[in-house]
Amino acid sequence: MDFNKIPKLFCESLTIGFAKHAFYFGFSSGVNQSAFAVPPEVAKGLIEGLTQKVAEYEKAFGPIDTSSNQVGIQSPLGR
């Protein structure tokens, strides 16, 4: 996937749910909302991939502070 050729959306809020055969992800940015359903195997791959990328990010830029709520942050995409 070429990230330079696809539209970028900024997620301000995330909701996660699950059922026996799928995990559900609800993303919102302002009044815009999107939802995705993925099988458990894809959800686990997502966690593994995010864990690796977060570790790489923190190695490059330092620890991510998760103590603040971060609601209302401005989109870096200029929306």
Q: Rounded mean pLDDT of the chain? A: 87
Burial class (CB in 10 A: 0-12, 13-18, 19+), 24: middle
- What mean pLDDT comes out for the span 61-66? 92
pTM of the model: 0.69
pLDDT of residue 79: 46
- Give the residue with greater pLDDT, 55 vs 77: 55
pLDDT digits (tens, 9 = 90+) for 24-51: 999 998 888 999 999 999 999 999 999 9
Query: For residue 10, what pLDDT band results from cuts at 50, 70 and 90?
Result: confident
